[in-house]
Structures are given as C-alpha cells and as structure tokens.
Structure 1
Amino acid sequence: MKNTITYILVSVLAIGLTNCTGDFEDKNTDPHGISDESLKQKFNNIGTKFAPMFSNVIRAEPAPNFQLQHNLNADVFSGYMASPTPFAGNINNQTYSLVSGWNQFIWSDAYDVDDGGGVMPYARGVHEQVELSEGKNIIMYTYLSDIIKVMAMHRISDVFGPIRYTKFDDYGTTGEYDSQEVAYKAFFADLEKAIDSLKEFEGEPQFEAFDQSFFRGDVAKWRTFANTLRLRLAIRVSKVDPALAKTEGEKSLSSDAGLLENEDMLIDMQGFVHPLWTISNDWGDIRMSAEMESVLKGFNDGRVEKYFKPAIGGGIEGMYKGVRMGVDIEAKSQYLEHSSLGEYLKNQAFKVWMTSAEVYFLKAEAALRGWDGAGDAKENYENGVRASFAQHGVAGVDEYLADATSTPADFVDAINPENNYEYPGDVTIAYNSGGSKEEQLEQIITQKWIAMYPDGQEAWSEFRRTGYPRVFPVVINNSGGTIDTEVQIRRINFVDSEKNTNNANVEKAINYLSGPDTGGTRLWWDTGGPNF
C-alpha cells in the first residue's frame, strides 16, 4: 500500500507539472547564499554547475524519478524488463497508451531547473561563467560540460527526435528546436572540439574537485570518453548517413585520444542506492523480461545469475522467469514472484554511462561496415563478450564463445499460455565469420544488448536502429492505432509542458518528423530500411 500511494503521488505531480519554460531563464543563483567572490575562488562559480549535470543524465534519486525517466519507458521498450504492476488498469506505456505525466520526466531532467533537472541550463551556465571569468585553463570547463551535454542530449533526442540544442544558449532563441539531423551534427562538432581542445589540458588537476565520474578529474580520460561517445553516435547514424558515419567513426578510430577499451565510464551515485534495486526489490514494480529469459536461458548464459534472481513461488521456484511486456495483467500478484533484478545492484555505488564491452561491439560493427582502423569483427566481438563476463565476474567465457549450437529459447508464460512466444530467430553465440553481414550483425547486436544491460535507453535505440535482438510485440495495444503492434514503439511524443508553454516551437518541431507526433513515427536515424 505504501508503495502504491508513493507512486500515485508521484504520478499526480507529474501529470500536474507546468514547466515555466516561457522565460527560459537559468536563475544561476547559489542556494546556500555563498557570495560571488567566494564562489569564484577555486572556480566554484563554474564547477558547482557540474553536479546537477552529472545527476540528471541518468537520475539516481529519487527512485520514482528514475522510474519515470527510464524504467517505465526505455527499460521495458528495449526488452530488458517488464512491470508486473497493472498501472492505471493496465492502460499505460507497456500497452502503448503513453502516459504524458510519466514521460514528462525524461524531458524535465534535461531542461527544467525548477523540477530538479537542468542539464542544458547548467551547461549554459558553465559557458556564461567561463566568459565572465579570468584565470588559467578556465576554457577547459566549457569543453568538459559539452561532453556531458552531448551524453545527456543524444539520449533525449533518441527518445523524442527534435530537441532544443544549438539555439539554447541564446535567450532569444532558446525555445527553438533542431531536427535530429541538425542536433546530431552539432553533437559531432561539439565532441570534436572538446577532444581536440582538451589535449593541452591533460594533466591539469583543477576539474578533480567537481568530477563525479571515476576518472577523478583526469582530463586525458575525458578525452577518451568523448572520443568513444563519438564512435557510439557514428554507429547510430550509419544507416541514415553512411558517409557521415564513416567519417566520424574513422576519426574516433584513429584519434590519439584512444577508446575506452580497458575502463568503464562510471558515475558516483553519491551514496544513493541504485534505483533499479529499489524499484524491483523494494516496490516489486519491475521484473525480468520475457526476452531476457529467452536469450539468457537459450544461451545457457552465466550472466543471468548476476542480472536476476530466481523466481520465488507459483510453481516456478528457482527458475529464472520473465514477464512479457504488454500482456493482460489483472493484479500485481500474478507475476510478482517472477525473477526480480539481481543482487549486484544492491551494492552498486555507481551509474554506468559506458562500458568497455560496448566499445568492442562498436568496433565489431565498424569492422563489419569496412571502416578503417576498426580491426577484425570476430576479434572485437569476442573481446566484447570477454569484457562483459569479466565485468560481472562470470566464468566460462571460452566455452561460451565456442558454442555454435545454442539459440534463444521460446518463451512460455507461467500464467497464461496465450502469451507464449516462439523466438523468431536462430542467432548463435560462436561468431560466424562466414555468415552474411546481416547474420553477423545480429550476433554482434544480440551480445551487445546482453552486455549493455541494464541501460535500456541504449538497448532500445539499438533495437530500433537494427531490429536486434528480436523484441517481442505487445499482446495488448492501447495506442488507438498510432503505434503498429509489429513495428513496435519508435519514439515518445512531445511532452505536455512544452505544448502548453512553447507550442509554436513544438509545432515547428513536429514538421521535422517523418510523420505525426506519435509513438509510431520513426526517428531520423531509424530508417526502417536494410542494415546493409
């Protein structure tokens, strides 16, 4: 009951949000009353703006915020998890009746200072304070904030499509949107400038006091992260603009900044419990997905013991049992005893922005696409799997990589056989260098999907781009025909706060889409065409 009340309160507050984006002003005031002169000492007037940026890319607290920022959208759309809770009578995001009050949090954490968010306003604040400040190496803060800004905003664009980005810093145009194509090209430009410009500041320690990443202020590592993020985004646009993708990808592969092949990009959670642990194990609002069960069970994948707990009742005790998204759920108790999320989250003191495993899978696809400097696809693929096994302390990787026969299992619903689903593919583990490019890509993306867990945002984006892994369609579709059941959800529509306070610009942004402002319209990089 307590959890239900908490959730209802959060949802009501979300639905009632009215963002004062009409003035588009970042207050830039210090909440503790510290004087301007004191703030300027040791660059606090600049550095203190990084904390909310770090916090809002992926919001760790409060847990209800994360639940609405990521969990009840990307985490379930990606095929990672499913909720056993029939929110709003089972008419919610999981059945494609998109809840604007929920999805508002995705936008708020990027833009709205008054709602505890504000990546973009605080990044603007860094730029403004740098322009007003004097001192050695001040400009480096601009480049570091731009890297965080790109990390945050590519995720926002990958949800909505058009976003407010290139014109945001000018108060006269801050409400105007860019098309996703324009935004992505700006991401590449901002990353390139940061990578190139930060080289002269390698070894400079002054960012350490404000750096919440495990890089602890190491500027060289921030260059490496920015360069790796550029490779991620290059792969993302590889279908819609192959020439741009190849150019940007090869810049990353040849850059002296290097790639995150030996270290993960982790953000300190500042003492907070991982929100997924709270949502799954305290509230019982999220469980293992049907797709995760099919893939990990079929592959006999040892990572399942790290990712999830065995079921605890209902005749499935000790089994790893998932829930299919978008099915008929009358009561939470039906699927509550299915597999919750794993113990490793309980003591995880960090948020993951990127892993070395992902880097190897990016390189594997780059090699498959013929990009210079990518290396060998098979070697990168296997290194990615090895990195993921090592990350989670799982043994048996050599035997796993040699398995050329195991395929994902068919899903059998423990409650309702109408939800059973035959896995629509026969992808295997052992890399098939002799297979078609499409077959090799399915192997790469399927293992990438397993390795990136629990980052549902990236997993959902890669599924939409490639069609892999094969996420199951919903059984119940409450979209009113705006989202095709088989094509599945492609984006989230613009939020009510923007429509209420910035409607003229929203209307212009809708014209940048390839269709109406619904969840069924594909993004710019989501071409729907062949992968090769």
Structure 2
Amino acid sequence: MDSYYQHRKYLKFKQMKKKYIYLLPVVSLVFLVSACTKKFPEINTDPNLPTEVPLANHLAGAMISFDQGFMAPSNTNIDLSTNYVGERNSAYPADLSSTYQNWTSEDWGGYYSTLNDMNDIIAKAKEANAYNMLAAALTFRAEITQIATDEWGDMPYSEAAKASNGVLRPKYDDQKSIYDSIINDLKTAADIFKAGHTDQIGTVEPFYSGDVHKWQKLCNSLRMRVATRISFVDAAKAQSIIAEVLGNPSDYPISQTIDDRAEITYAGDNTWQIGFWYWANLLEFECAGQRIVDILKAYDDPRLMRLVAPAVSDGQYRGTSRIGRSSNFKVNDISYFNKNYYVVNGTTGPNIHYRHSEVLFDEAEIYLRGLYPGGDAAAQQAYEAGIYASMKELSIMADGSPKIPDDSIALYIASDSIKWSGTTQEKLWKIWNQKYIAHCFMLNESWAEMRRTDVPLCLPAIGSYYPSHNRGPFRVPYPANEQLMNSVNSKQYFAAQIAGDYLWGGQLWWDKRTGVH
C-alpha cells in the first residue's frame, strides 16, 4: 500500500504540470527578465515581451490548482462521510484522527493560495475594464470560498491573502459573514454579466473555453445553491435571492441542460491524470462505496450498472467502505467502477464542479417549501426533471453508447418508492435523496447537503473510536500549523472545535438539525 499512496502523490505532482502549461510561455519570460542584472536592463529586456501572466492564463492556472486540491472524487476528508468511494486493499484504522489531520493542512493552504490568485485577478480586471473576466473571477472566488467555509466553518477571509499589505496573522470571520461575502460576489458578477459586455474571458479557461453565457448561467445557478444552503437559517435572504433569479430569467439565466455543467477534464496521458480515475480504471484500487451502491440497488436504479460493475465472485453489486470492514472482507466480492463510465482518453475522467440536475432539485425544494411561488405542481415537475437530468448525466459513457433511455427513466419515476407522493416531509426526503445520487463524486456538495438535510442518514463508521456520536463529523478540523502560526486569532476557534470533539467539531452556521452530536 505504501507504493500506492506514494504514486498518488506522484500523480498529484504531475497534475500540477497542466497549470504550468498554461503559464509556461509567459512565466518563463518573466523569470528570464527578472534574472537580468540591474547593470544590463536595456540589453536584457525585450520591450515586446510581457512581464506579467495574462489574466486568461492566470485564471486558468488558478482554477486548475484549486480543482486538483479540492475536487477529487475520493477526497479522504469528505468521502468518509459521503461514501461514494471505498477502498480495495485495506481499510483505514477506526481511529480517524490521523486520517483527517494528514490532509487538512494541504487543503487549507491550497484554498488561500487560490484566493490570493483570485484577488489579484479581480484587482487587475478592474483596472483593465475587463468586465467579463472580472465577473468570472468573482464567480469562481465565490465557489471556492463556499467550498472552503463549508469544510471549516469560521475561518480567515476579510483579512486573508493580504500578506503584501502587511497582514500576516488574519482575523477569523464567522461563517455568516463569509456567506454574505459569497452572496455579494455572486450578485456583483450576475449584474456584470447582465450588462452584456463584449470583452473575452479567454479560451484557455477550463470550464467553458471562454463561453460568457455559460459562465453567466453558472453564476446564477450558484446563487440558487447558496440560497438553498442558507434557507433554514436565513429564509428571508434566501427568498430574496431566489426571487431575483427565478423572477428574472432573461437577466439572470440559470443552467438549462446537462451541457451547462462546469467540469475540468485532463488529458489522460502520462503527463496529466486525475489520480482517482487512473487507479480506479487501471488498477482497481478504488471501489464503489457501500452507501451509494445500496441506495441504487434498493430502487432498482438504472444508474447502478452505468456507474458500477458487478463483483467478480458472484456477479452481485456490493459496495465497500474505507473503515470499519468486516473480518471476512474479500476483494473479489466487491464492485469496482464501470471502466466505461465517463472517462477521457481511456484513463481519466473529469472533476465536476456543477451539474444541471442540482439546480432542478434546488427548485423542487424551493417550490415545495414555499420559498418561491409554484407550489406542489412546480415542485413535482422540477423533481422529475432533476431525476431525468441526473440519469443522463450519470450515463455518459466513454465509448459513446446511448444514455439511459427515456422509457426506463419514466418507469423509474413512476415506481412506488420514487413517485411524487406522501407528506411534504416525505417529498422533501425524496428530493434530498435523489440529490445525493445526482451529486455522485461531487463530495463537497453532497457532504454539505447531508449535514443540512440529514439525508441520507450518515452514522459514524463501524468501528469508530467515537461511540458518543450519532452522526458523522460536522466539519474538517483546523490544521495544526494554524494553531502555531496564527495562535492569537485562532485560539478561540480551536477551543470551540475541541469542545465539540476535535474531529466532529460543532455544527456549521447553516446546519440547523436538532438532536445530532
């Protein structure tokens, strides 16, 4: 196993090359210019060569850097709760302390590095009147900040990434304030996009190759995500955002088809790989998680065979976990991922940031809870459209084989367990359960929604050293080096984390569940 994890680190290192491929022609010139001695500036400086990375390249590099650190389908910090992905060869020990702490410092630093990049791009875009670039950067800054604060909760933000201004020990902001900043960024970006500027974002950006209209739809779809996330703790603000977006579709368009998804793909050759897909498809070290397999089996869901292959030993679908396995565990008895599922160039698939089905399930919940007019009929329509979209999204095959057919989807939607029926709470449960399926491999969003809705129920792993808990962890612990390097500002937050149990911590600001610990 040591060689496996060493190679994963090696692949992650190799992935970074893609970021620098975007920057290499320009950055190399920067290094050449900066290396010139002050004694010979006129000889060594070519006035026709740029000394700064173009904004388009800078944005692309920052997006890829964050993507590689936070969007992997098997992020250890999160997948222990979401359980889309299991492990083949050996489980982690039941004591989770080392498992979580080993990864959190790297993620923490990765977020602030990208935040610094985005702040720089935003400032330069303002100076250059590069309006659509500014809107795209604000949108991406909002997305990465939402992901980060949904992992840690309260954290430095308003004073973060300001070392050049002399701020070396930034204060912590409460999560509500951070969400206010996210909401403001998305609103500002949405209004810039609405104005219809014609400047280009640049074809090198990895989401949409510079398609401004798709960036606009992503921005407003993220506004719907954020509004839904805060709706149990600040219904008034959530309703205000939702009303503006849904009430003005021409000014604030949202995702319309599965082709509006935001994803980053990699070449799949020996230079650029996503380690998860490499090991899952070539060597089968990554396996299907028990929770997602059990849910799909229970509903006779046609997405099961698209995502997962049956066990070698008996042809049954059987998921596994990362910790808490039974003593009679055998590798031939578990299911691996379907090698034909959504891979690129035969070896590696994409990292998904946003899927179209998400906004439909958001709408279904919004209509059902009365956060926007539409009522039960609109909620049902959005719910069924969300299932349809997810079926198509999760049946994209590498060989181009047809997606799940419409008649199979219709039969599934009409089945007793899935059809739109029951009390309001039962319908909400169905929406949230289908959203969990639709979020497959999108660990950040599924874990956040599981903590917001309690669906699907996330119990502590079998064999956990923490028997006093009735749910999985509430958040990722702060990195140890933050306690050392920013002790004055972080002290009270570490104390609150430890008081709730170092790994579980306390519930996040938007997590209003009761009776969970």
TM category (shorter chain) comes to 0.7 to 0.9
1:497 matched to 2:493: no
- CA shift, 1:9, in A, is 7.0
| SS, match of residue 324 in structure 2 | coil
Supply the distance in 1 between the matched residues of 2:436 and 2:384 (Cα, whole angstroms): 14
State the percentage of identical aligned residues: 22
1:237 matched to 2:220: no
* 1:390-447 alpha-carbon deviations (Å, 9 max, x no partner): 222112001001101xxxxxxxxxxxxxxxxxxxxxxx21111xx2221111100111
| SS, match of residue 220 in structure 1 | helix
1:196 matched to 2:219: no
Where does residue 224 of structure 1 map in the other structure?
A: 217
Supply the distance in 2 between the matched residues of 1:302 and 1:502 (Cα, whole angstroms): 50
Supply the distance in 1 between the matched residues of 2:263 and 2:142 (Cα, whole angstroms): 16
CA contact (8 A) 1:202 1:220 kept: no
Where does residue 400 of structure 2 map in the other structure?
A: none
Give matches, 1:1-150, under 5 Å. 3-4=3-4, 6=6, 31-34=27-30, 44-59=53-68, 71-86=75-90, 90-91=93-94, 93=96, 98-111=99-112, 118-130=113-125, 133-134=127-128, 137-150=129-142
Unaligned runs of 5+ in 1: 14-28, 112-117, 405-427
**Which segment is superposed worse, 157-166 or 172-181?**
172-181
Structure having the larger proportion of residues in helix: 2
Q: Which amino acid counterpart does residue 346 of structure 1 have in structure 2?
A: V
Supply the distance in 2 between the matched residues of 1:325 and 1:5 (Cα, whole angstroms): 14
Q: Which amino acid counterpart does residue 77 of structure 2 have in structure 1?
A: N
Coordinate RMSD, CA, aligned: 3.2
CA contact (8 A) 1:310 1:340 kept: yes
| SS, match of residue 359 in structure 1 | helix
Distance 1:70 1:241, change over 3 A: farther
Where does residue 414 of structure 1 map in the other structure?
A: none
| SS, match of residue 352 in structure 2 | strand
Where does residue 323 of structure 2 map in the other structure?
A: 326
* 1:217-238 alpha-carbon deviations (Å, 9 max, x no partner): 1222212111110110111111
Where does residue 412 of structure 2 map in the other structure?
A: 400
**Which segment is superposed worse, 145-154 or 276-285?**
276-285
Task: Find 2:388's aligned residue among 386, 389, 408.
Answer: 386
Supply the distance in 2 between the matched residues of 1:80 and 1:377 (Cα, whole angstroms): 27
Distance 1:251 1:173, change over 3 A: farther
Supply the distance in 2 between the matched residues of 1:149 and 1:247 (Cα, whole angstroms): 22
Supply the distance in 1 between the matched residues of 2:330 and 2:487 (Cα, whole angstroms): 42
1:444 matched to 2:444: no
Supply the distance in 2 between the matched residues of 1:324 and 1:362 (Cα, whole angstroms): 29
- CA shift, 1:74, in A, is 1.6
TM-score (norm 1): 0.78
Supply the distance in 2 between the matched residues of 1:267 and 1:365 (Cα, whole angstroms): 24
Q: Which amino acid counterpart does residue 476 of structure 1 have in structure 2?
A: G
| SS, match of residue 430 in structure 1 | coil
Supply the distance in 2 between the matched residues of 1:251 and 1:265 (Cα, whole angstroms): 22
Q: Which amino acid counterpart does residue 429 of structure 1 have in structure 2?
A: I
Give matches, 1:347-496, under 5 Å. 347=344, 349-372=349-372, 376-391=378-393, 392=395, 393-395=403-405, 396-404=408-416, 428-432=417-421, 435-479=422-466, 484-496=468-480
Q: Which amino acid counterpart does residue 488 of structure 2 have in structure 1?
A: A
Q: Which amino acid counterpart does residue 253 of structure 1 have in structure 2?
A: L
Distance 1:110 1:350, change over 3 A: same
Supply the distance in 1 between the matched residues of 2:452 and 2:379 (Cα, whole angstroms): 19
TM-score (norm 2): 0.81
Distance 1:513 1:464, change over 3 A: same
Distance 1:8 1:355, change over 3 A: closer
Where does residue 17 of structure 1 map in the other structure?
A: none
Where does residue 311 of structure 1 map in the other structure?
A: 311
**Which segment is superposed worse, 492-501 or 224-233?**
492-501
* 1:185-237 alpha-carbon deviations (Å, 9 max, x no partner): 11001100110022234443x212342112x2122221211111011011111
Supply the distance in 2 between the matched residues of 1:492 and 1:517 (Cα, whole angstroms): 11
| SS, match of residue 352 in structure 1 | strand
Where does residue 207 of structure 2 map in the other structure?
A: 213
CA contact (8 A) 1:126 1:145 kept: yes
**Which segment is superposed worse, 265-274 or 178-187?**
265-274
Distance 1:110 1:467, change over 3 A: same
CA contact (8 A) 2:94 2:463 kept: no
Q: Which amino acid counterpart does residue 512 of structure 2 have in structure 1?
A: T
- CA shift, 1:161, in A, is 0.6
| SS, match of residue 318 in structure 2 | coil
Q: Which amino acid counterpart does residue 524 of structure 1 have in structure 2?
A: W
CA contact (8 A) 2:74 2:276 kept: no
Q: Which amino acid counterpart does residue 430 of structure 1 have in structure 2?
A: K
Supply the distance in 2 between the matched residues of 1:44 and 1:458 (Cα, whole angstroms): 32
